[in-house]
Structure 1
Amino acid sequence: MKPWREVAVPHQDVLEGTFQQSEFAADITAVKSGKASREYQDAVAFYERTFITEGMAMLLTQVAQRLAGKGGEPVIQLQTAFGGGKTHTMLAVYHLATRKCALAELSGIPAIVDRAGLMDVPQARVAVIDGTDRGPSQPRMYGGQAVKTLWGELAWQLGGAEGFAHVAEADATGTSPGKEALRALLEQFSPCVVLIDELVAYVRQFPESQAISGGSYDSNLSFVQALTEAVKLVPRAIVLASLPESEVEAGSQRGVAALRALEKTFGRVQALWKPVATEEAFEIVRRRLFEPVRDEKAREEICRAFADAYIAEGAKLPAETQERRYFDRLQQAYPIHPEVFDRLYEDWTTIDGFQRTRGVLKLMAKVIFRLWKDDNRDLLIMPGSLPLYDGGARNELTYYLPAGWDPVIERDIDGDRAETTMLENREPRFGQVGAARRIARTIFLGSAPSSVVSNVAARGIDRARVILGCLQPGQASSVFADALSRLADRLHYLNASGDKSQEATRFWFDTRANLRREMEDRKRRFDDRTEVRGKIAEALKKTVGNAASFDGVHIFTPHSDVPDDTALRLVVLPPESWYTRDESRLSFDAVLDMIAKNGAKPRYRANRLIFLAADHGALARLNDAARTALAWGSIVDDVKESRLNIDLLQKNQAEKELKSAEEVLPRAARECYRWLMCPMQDAPTDPKPGIEVFAINTAGSSVGSEIERVCTDNELVISTWSPIHLRAKLRELYWNGGARSANAAAFFEDTLRYLYMPRLRGRDVLTQAIRSGSASRDFFATAYGEQEGKYEGFSFGGGEAVFDDTLLLIDPDAAKAYEETSRPPEPVTPVDPPTTSVPSGPAAGAPPSSEPGTPTATPQPASAKPKVFYGTAEIPPATAKMHLVNLADEIIALLASDPNANVRLTVEISAEFPDGASDSIKRAVSENANSLRLKSADWE
């Protein structure tokens, strides 16, 4: 598709940059005196460049009918906004009445004549009363005749000396000539047109209650009233007067009073006037600034491509772009995008002083001139195309804005040193389409007027309208959306309402630096070693403080403050001890130093520490996130303490930014601290410990659970241990060199100290392995002490062992041998004596005879059952716990199994101290005896 410059060529004065001078050299007085440029002085040239709007067509129809005596309004007041086309409309009436050519040569006029139902429009006399042409105390000389008043000026312009005779006396005295004199004047020189411009500017100059050569305040108001009454009586006379729409244009209090008085005067007879519509402004600007379009097919093709691209984007763009009539608007406005006109006519015309027609023409002439010189290749002239880097175009806009906008544009929006240009230089995908500058220009055009007009409903423009001002067919809207998000985070003067990622978010520039600049300045104030590190530590507590598999988590803790005990601990290394696969020295040195030292003392239980280190690539982002959170926090605190004065919108923004920064920081900490380090040794003979490094998945559910998973999967921490592994480790390190047993407590202590030992989650893991293994004859036997080759409480597969300080774990082969040697000998079975035959006696059933000398068998009485049991045991202190447990299980439990038994236990303790008991032992024993409720606990 062709760029706009190949389809629509600007007029020569625009290309040469002389438009401003030609535009503002012309006014109605200059045309009347023949001093205007050709495009305003010549009727044919004027109508060639004039688009007759609906309002102008209605007015010219009234004028044509009135001059032809076929009706029409006698008085028409043009009261529109500043720059609404009043002067241009008066010029159109002037050229229609004073033309020196056929009506057919005036572009657009034949259609108006047909609408008026006329065959022709007679030429007419025209009087131009310009309130700014001369002051009320400055008479104008026409030959030898001094003309002092407005009514004298009117009479002289219509009829020269003959016309002036009608009002000569009134002009000399400064009094209004009255309705009848004016009727006679108008009737004699009709058809005639009276054009009155800037009347308020003239009337407000009269001093109060004082007459001067031009009359008085009251006489001039009386003249206006008489003129409006008189013109109604003359069928072929018409008066057109322009009045300002606002009090600001009226000027002083005196001017406002004059405006109100004139409004009442004209209000009785004025005709309605319709101002220029935005769509009509399209054609006005195009006719004035561009030659006729040379390639209608190319224009239609381009506009269709834009319309189709907008429909494809859907909800990402404003709703009106999805309607078919937006294609028509694109064609009407071509080669300028309709969004440019919408912003100028809806936003910029609300600024006092910005003219609706001339202001837009003057601005767009500067814009087109610079774009043409710079060989701009855009398909349309869009909000994102505005060359704000050019002083002429920029000044045309900043002229209507408060002071302070130049540094905003130069730093944030457009120019060689602007942040937008720097971003495009760093990011090729933005630079290819000029995304950053186009975004910033669009926001400026749509938001700068709100810095002047305070009663806007919602400040700034939304995301969809920003994209509309930049996007061209064939480009991805995502690029501009990304650029907008980047700029919202970087620019100093760009503000945003709400969440910057939401479609409803509105963006605007302001001359006051936004809080983001204040935040960026504050970020540099914080110290890395204290404040920034402390903030990172807070974030890490939220992310890794929930590691349930550890008894303690130590964040940036010196090695002297990490306890050297049995607890399993996770140590988070400080940021300066970072890690990468290519550079591990800093983190490894920190780990080795930590496992070697506990302050000034050596560390004994080194196998209880696992470490977490930062990734060097993510460390910068984490530091920045911490500084950002600190900066926003300090701003919010200063606002609460009234140390920083900002408006409510900025206060809400600061609080939202702080909340967002506090949410980002833990995520940044999680992504940064992703290397788990575990010190290890393969065997006791290794000269130096090594370090295994494991990457943590930062996208998991939680850091604590992810660390636990890595520890479990890689057996860095053992939570459940099988007896077979315990037996293997005992055989490897303890049941060798003649030793056949190992103390379980010593074994556990070794797991705490030595890096080649398994790292158990806790003592209960070993306890469970011993219990499971002691119930079988496959793993080990147990005992609670050994004296002179005999094991106290020896058990081999006989049940669960009690893990205490005396528990021994015995090699199963040695246990079998011990079991054989300690088994008691089997008892010898006695041999029965030989039986003796008994001689036959009496018949069966007869009682035995008693013969002298023969022993008689006496029946034994049944023995009585025992009723009392007493037992006393000497228990070695070293194995007291084991013996007491055995007594409880094997004796006391049996005695208590009879429900009728009354079992009573008495424990007697006797201890002798040849050198006397120490105070600490005496105090501890006495307190324990009291808490255990011993019946007697006496010291002698």
Structure 2
Amino acid sequence: MTITPWREIAVPHQDVLKGTFQESEFAADISQVHQGKASKEYQDPAQFFSRTFITEGMALLLDSVVRRLAGQGGDPVIQLQTAFGGGKTHTMLAVYHLAQGKSSASDLHGIPPLLDKIGVTALQPARVAVIDGINLSVSEPKTHGGISCRTIWGELALQLGGESAYALVRSADESGTSPDKDTVVELLSRAAPCVILMDELVAFYRQFQEGKTYPAGSFETNMTFIQALTEGIKSVPKAVMLASLPDSTNAGEGRGQVVLAQLESYFRRLHKIWKPVSKDEAFSIVRRRLFDHIENQSGMESTCRAFGEFYVANKEDLPNETQESQYLERMRQAYPIHPEIFDRLYEDWSTLQGFQRTRGVLQLLAQVVHRLWKDGNSDPLVMPGALPLFDPMVRNKCLDYLPQGWDPVIDQDIDGEKSKPAYIESEEARFGRIQAARRVARTVFLATAPGGAGRMSKGVEQERILLGVGRPDQPLGHYKDVLKRLLDRLNYLNTENARFWFGLTPNLRREMESRKQRFTDRDDVVPVLRSRLEKVIGRGGIFAGVHVFTPSADIPDDYGSAPRLVILPPMGASYHKGESNMAFMAAEEILRNRGEQPRQKQNRLLFLAADHDVVSRAWDQAKGWLAWNSIVTDIDNDRLVLDTLQVRQAKQQRDEAEQSLQRLLREAYRWIINPHEEFVRGKPKLEWEVVSISPAASSLVKAIEEKAIEEEWLITEWSSIHLSNTLRQWYFKEGVAEVPALKVWQDTCHYLYLPRLINSDVFKNAMAQGVESEDFFGFAMGKDGERYLGFVFGKSGLTSLDEAALLIERGAAAAFQELVRKEQEAKRQAEPPQPVDGTSTGGAATHPKGGQGRPDQNGGSSGTPTPSPSTPKKQFYGTVKLDPVKAKMDFATIVDEVVQQFTSRLGVEVEISVEIQAKGRDGFDDAVQRAVKENCNVLRFGSAEFED
């Protein structure tokens, strides 16, 4: 099959052919154009549009600008925001040239159809002001003849209307204060039709420091002006403003982010965001800029169709996308450059720091096309396999964006007459005839040198390598064969999981792979996984213990201070969504048994399991780390001799394997498993609830806690109504009126159908809150016969969690409370009245007729004298000795009968002190002394000492 070479169909521009282009020419500078200092291709409107492909976004924007200037609507404010190299400045230049009207619209390529669509025959020239934030200073005024502009509004006024317009804002410019909205509207009205182009605004405004004032004003006054300007443009029909803002990743940190957020808040109300260049549109942009014209349209079509048929015939070896008709159309748009080059540059290289999408692609491909043209390249397309990395200019352009260390990789393993691929080609004619080894190496380099950012797996698949080298007139099998040869011979080519990549590390993989077979699962791999997982999960948190791969016999079966987290072993206990789940079976074994004994406190356990699809990778990665670690150990012990670079790389590989292992463990161990029981036909049935946690969480144990709390698998706060409902559902049935509080708490630790409280304090708080209301339940410290001791119901009171404490059904508590009330009422009625004046009479002296004595004229009483009242007592002090055995119940009674008499009254201050004296005939040993002192310290005793 004969295919016409691309050089006979597509003709590059002269500067590309001759290599006379400057890389700076690909970087549009609107200030240079405005000052008349730019190169001709940017300065001359006709030449600019001849090399400009009008994208969909640019066409929509120009349509809006033309309508606005013609008074037919359009958007008053347009915000251009995308990453560097995305075409913002180029779009502003298109508006600049179109609005100025220095060339007839008919001479501007692509513009007449746009005007015809709008219905505008001729566009009136507009005044254009260019504000370049990089070209302005907040402290140094910009001089124009006899006028020094201090502020951005002064600069804007002078550009729009000269001295007369500047006079409108002179005072505001000189004082650094923002002009009002009316002044802005008048300025714009005088200048209309007018266009304001603001580039790099963030770069200008981040010069302002918080709270400082400069000749250009303060940050606040400048923000006020932006607000007035955006509002003012809206009021002037033939005024339009375009402002470029970087995306957040390119706005800088600190002050840049503050400025960007502030500007976006003003533009957001009125602006229309410009649609950036799409990847497929970039095909046409690059072709228009690099190539003058397509000389043979039929030859181009024939080449594209030949490739399309070739891809269909080899569909098993090539990516699926090549089988679609859309891919053929992409080839036509990108011709003579293969679409795979654009895909790699836009998807991989554009993620590198400093690589500016369209501009970076232009700069690199200009060098590539120039070198290929110079060498007489006869390929049908400019393909990844033809990338001339032997050329210093092309190589340096690639290395500009890559870290140090790629020079020896290219020299040895990729390109050049002395490289290993070239040597392989010299050994076998079928490879040398088509430069198969170097083409494959170049393709892998282009696809993997940036690191595969954004891809799920490192490296590039064989099918994409074949896409970068395969052509209709060559056997595809040669490239498959040479790839295997390269794997055996190259030092920096790596492979894993059928993916290939170049890296900076020499290839010790074969040694590592052989060593992986030495290690056993139980003795080597499991201990490594356990130790790494303990680091990944972390410490702290509310769990009483985190048990990693712990046998059931070693997991405590106690009430504990909190539930426990059990990490299931990776193999044989991983989680997948099948019905027969290994994780559930392993968890149930631990849940039901503690070694040979049945487990009692089953509701104190949660489980964490590895993902079935990920854990095998972590298992293999652990073996890989063991292998790399053994290599480094042998190097340190002089059992393996390598050069300095290899030693450093081996340690780097070990460290990377360690990091990868921890990352995989974090990714694998993400399934929290909660056992609970549902009653089916009166019998509890074990169920499993499973949720996933994010592997990106900063603290895994914290993420597990938060998710468990969110799902209410761990209860940190339990309301009294939930406790009340639990009591009614499970305890207060069939006439049962009371239940030991300790039993209820312990049952929540035993039974999977009850809530899992993190500790007894949660239960105590629910009790304390519940007794304050008469809606839930009562509480008693104990019971003496039929009477409750330390009874609390419908008020705050002392509650505790011991063997004697009782929770009382609401009706029974109300009945007992009523009984106590009646007894107290009867007791008060039975008490004799107390004399007021100390006599035996029960009240004040009264008039014989029942009235009080009336005062006479001398101030006395005409009847029996009224006794003067006694002086009220203001303090109470009392002491009592308690039986140590019954102290808790006795103290509760004292609180109810005495203390609450005072605390229930306003203005009464109550102070209670507890004095404890203990005498031991044989003394107290160190353990008792230590325990008592620690407890007294926790309970905040004022003094607590042991004496001889």
Q: Shorter-chain TM-score category? A: 0.5 to 0.7
For 2:462, give the aligned amino acid.
R
Q: Which aligned pairs between 1:504-543 and structure 2 lie closer than 5 A? A: 505-516=498-509
Correspondence 1:317-716 to 2 at 5 A: 317-450=318-451, 453=453, 456-498=455-497, 505-516=498-509, 637-638=630-631, 645=651, 646=653
Change (3 A) 1:257 1:635: closer
1:75–1:270: 8 Å Cα contact kept in structure 2?
Answer: yes
Task: Give me the whole-angstrom Cα distance separating, in 2, the residues matched to 1:520 and 1:387.
Answer: 34
1:76 corresponding residue in structure 2? 78
Gap runs ≥5 in structure 1: 499-504, 523-630, 655-940
Query: SS of the counterpart of 2:451?
Result: helix
SS, match of residue 292 in structure 1: strand
Alpha-carbon deviation of 1:175?
1.4
Cα distance 1:71–1:311, how it changes in 2: closer, same or farther (>3 A)? same
Return the alpha-carbon distance in structure 2 between the equivalents of residues 233 and 647 of structure 1. Answer: 65
Asked whether the 8 Å contact 2:421–2:438 carries over to 1, the reply is yes
In structure 1, how many angstroms separate the alpha carbons of the residues matched to 2:29 and 2:450?
28
**Percent identity for Structure 1 against Structure 2:** 54
Change (3 A) 1:424 1:51: same
Q: Within 2, Cα distance between the matches of 1:81 and 1:150?
A: 25
Q: 1:653 to 1:131 in 2, by over 3 A?
A: closer
Partners of 1:203 and 1:633 in 2: CA distance: 54
Q: Against the structure 1 CA distance between its residues 485 and 653, is the aligned structure 2 distance closer, same or farther, given a 3 Å change threshold?
A: farther
Judge conservation of contact 1:439–1:480 (CA < 8 Å) in 2. Answer: yes
Do the aligned partners of 1:22 and 1:37 also contact (CA within 8 Å) in 2? no
Deviation of 1:339 after TM superposition, in Å, equals: 0.5
Shift of 1:647: 5.1
Give the secondary-structure state (helix, strand or coil) at the position aligned to 1:59. Answer: helix
CA distance in 1, matches of 2:110, 2:46: 11
Counterpart CA distance in 1 for 2:108 and 2:229 is 30
- Deviation (angstroms), 1:110: 1.1
Instruction: Confirm or deny: 8 A CA contact 1:136 1:214 kept in the other structure.
Output: yes
The yes-or-no answer on 1:96 pairing with 2:98 is yes
CA displacement at 1:449 relative to structure 2: 1.6
Match of 1:313 in 2: 314
Indicate the residue corresponding to 2:150 in structure 1: 148
Q: Distance in 2 between matches of 1:652 and 1:73?
A: 51
Contact 1:19–1:362 (CA<8 Å) still a contact in 2? no
CA distance in 2, matches of 1:414, 1:7: 27
1:490 partner amino acid:
R
State how 1:818-833 maps to structure 2 within 5 Å. Answer: none
Distance 2:74 2:138 in 1: 32
1:476-497 CA-to-partner distances (Å, cap 9, x unmatched) read 1111011111112222111111
**Cα RMSD after superposing both structures:** 2.5
Corresponding position of 2:207: 205
Question: Which amino acid letter does the alignment assign opposite residue 92 of structure 2?
Answer: M
Q: Alpha carbons of 1:65 and 1:653: their partners in 2 closer, same or farther (altered >3 Å)? A: closer
> Does the aligned pair in 1 maintain the 2:625–2:654 contact within 8 Å?
no
Aligned mates of 1:320, 1:478 — CA distance in 2: 21
Question: Which residue of structure 1 lines up, in the alignment, with residue 185 of structure 2?
Answer: 183
Q: Which of 54, 63, 66 is the matching residue for 2:56?
A: 54
Give the deviation of 1:67 after TM superposition: 0.3
Does the C-alpha gap of structure 1 residues 26 and 36 become closer, same or farther in structure 2, counting only changes over 3 Å?
Answer: farther
What is the TM-score with the length of structure 1 in the denominator? 0.55
Aligned runs of 1:747-896 on 2, under 5 Å? none
1:33 alignment partner, one of 32, 35, 58:
35
Alignment partner of 1:241: what SS?
strand
> Could you tell me whether the CA contact under 8 Å between 2:81 and 2:273 is conserved in 1?
no
CA distance in 2: counterparts of 1:135 and 1:510, whole angstroms: 44
* AA matched with 2:434: V
Cα 1:518–1:390 change in 2 (3 A) is: farther
Q: Give 3-state SS (helix, strand or coil) of 2:213's partner.
A: coil
Deviations 1:465-486 (A, max 9, x none): 0000001111111110111111
Per the TM alignment, residue 353 of structure 1 is displaced from its structure 2 partner at its CA by 1.9
Find the counterpart in structure 2 of residue 256 from structure 1. Answer: 257
2:371/2:391 contact within 8 Å kept: yes
Alignment correspondent of 1:195: 197
Q: Render the CA deviation track for 1:566-585: whole Å, top value 9, x for unaligned.
A: xxxxxxxxxxxxxxxxxxxx
Moved more, 271-280 or 285-294: 271-280
CA drift at 1:118: 2.4
| Aligned residue type for 2:105 | L
2:21 to 19, 24, 42: 19
Which whole-Å deviations, capped at 9, do the CAs of 1:269-325 have from their partners, x for residues lacking one?
110321111221111111100011010111111111111111111110000111122
Pairing 1:217–2:212 present? no
CA distance in structure 1 between the aligned counterparts of 2:491 and 2:225, rounded to whole angstroms: 58
Change (3 A) 1:200 1:635: closer
Query: 1:322 is matched by which residue type in structure 2?
Result: Q
Q: Quick check: 1:287 aligned with 2:288?
A: yes
Please tell me whether the aligned partners of residues 317 and 467 of structure 1 are also in contact (alpha carbons under 8 angstroms). yes
Residues 276 and 25 from structure 1, CA distance in 2 versus in 1: closer, same or farther, beyond 3 angstroms?
closer
Matched to 1:71, the amino acid is G
Contact map agreement 1:348 1:354 (CA 8 A) in 2: yes
CA contact 1:152–1:171 (8 Å) conserved in 2: yes
Kindly provide the amino acid, as one letter, of the partner of residue 426 in structure 1: E
Contact 1:492 1:517 in 2 (8 A): no
TM-score by length of 2: 0.55
User: Structure 1 residue 518: deviation in Å?
Assistant: 6.8
Answer yes or no: is the 8 Å Cα contact 2:385–2:438 preserved in 1: yes
Q: How big is the shift at 1:650? A: 5.8
Structure 1 residues 311 and 175, CA gap change in structure 2 (3 angstroms)? same
Using the alignment, how far apart are the partners of 1:267 and 1:417 within structure 2?
A: 58
Secondary structure of the corresponding residue to residue 11 of structure 2 = coil
Deviation readout 1:586-614 (Å, 9 max, x if unpaired): xxxxxxxxxxxxxxxxxxxxxxxxxxxxx
For 1:24 and 1:326, the matched residues in 2 are separated by 28
Q: CA deviation at 1:512?
A: 2.2
Q: 1:153 corresponds to which letter in structure 2?
A: E
* SS of equivalent to 2:124: coil
Larger Rg: 1
CA distance in 1, matches of 2:267, 2:467: 44
- AA partner of residue 405 (structure 2): G
Query: In 2, are the aligned partners of 1:639 and 1:651 still within 8 Å (CA)?
Result: no
The residue aligned with 1:238 is: 240
Query: What letter corresponds to residue 511 of structure 1 in structure 2?
Result: L
Deviation for aligned residue 1:354: 1.2
Distance 2:625 2:137 in 1: 61
Aligned AA (1:180): D
Contact 2:26 2:362 in 1 (8 A): no
| Residue 232 to residue 432, structure 1, CA distance change in 2 (3 Å) | same
Change (3 A) 1:237 1:419: same
Q: Tell me the distance in 2 between the aligned counterparts of 1:652 and 1:162.
A: 67
Preserved CA contact (<8 Å) 2:197 2:241:
yes
Q: Which runs of 5+ in 2 are unaligned?
A: 516-623, 637-649, 662-948
Contact 1:69 1:236 in 2 (8 A): yes
Which amino acid is the alignment partner of residue 333 of structure 1?
Answer: A
Contact 2:512–2:631 (CA<8 Å) still a contact in 1? no
Letter in 1 for 2:329: D
Q: Secondary structure at the match of 1:369?
A: helix
Give the letter for the 1:110 counterpart: P
Counterparts of 1:62 and 1:45 in 2: how far apart (Å)? 23
Does the CA contact (< 8 Å) of 1:489 and 1:516 recur in 2? Answer: no
Runs of 4+ in 1 over 6 A off after TM superposition: 517-522, 631-634, 639-643, 651-654
